[in-house]
Amino acid sequence: MTNIDTDHDGTIDLAEANPAAAGVFDRLERDNEATLDARELKGRLSAKELAVADRTMTAPWRRRYLAIVERRFKAANADADDTIDAREFDSKAGRALPQLVKSSDQRRTVPGRREQRVVTGHRPEHAAVGSTDC
């Protein structure tokens, strides 16, 4: 997540999360229909979350996606300081946020932690995780 922490303060705020999420939306939305389906979301949203967003939100999908990001951000922001720090990223709600704001090929990092690179294309239990320090 350090690549999302543009002000390098060791936390992520919504102003940093939203542009990252918009970029992810643009990369996921490959068929140019301005919608996201379960195939494009690849496990980022549950079937229930997808159905609720489809049924209850009338905004274009890009705004729906950003609204879901904001909802997850607020859920992860336990101390209500409008930022997510390493401790909050370690919570259940905090672990749900990176699924929406980072590409699957980006490094899996948390502000204040050593960066790790995840080799994608494998099932999670077989993903190779290694230090980026060479």
Q: What is the residue whose two structure tokens read 């996606």?
A: 65
pLDDT reported for residue 73: 96
E strands in 1-93: 12-13, 83-84
pLDDT for res 63: 87
pLDDT value at 122 more than 50 = no
What stretches of the chain adopt beta strand conformation (E)? Answer: 12-13, 83-84, 116-118, 129-131
Backbone phi, then psi, for 133, in 5-degree steps?
Answer: -80, 115
As a whole number of angstroms, the distance between CA 41 and CA 25 comes to 9
- Of 33-37, 72-76, 115-119, the poorest mean pLDDT is in 115-119
26: tokens are 């643009």
Assess whether pLDDT exceeds 60 at residue 123. no
Kindly report the average pLDDT of the chain as a whole number.
77
pLDDT value of position 29:
81
Residue 35 has pLDDT above 50, yes or no: yes
Identify the pLDDT of residue 31.
77
Q: Average the pLDDT over 48-61 and give the result.
A: 79
pLDDT of residue 130: 39
Question: Which residues are CB-contacts of 115 (< 8 A; sequence separation ≥ 6)?
Answer: 2, 107, 109, 131, 132
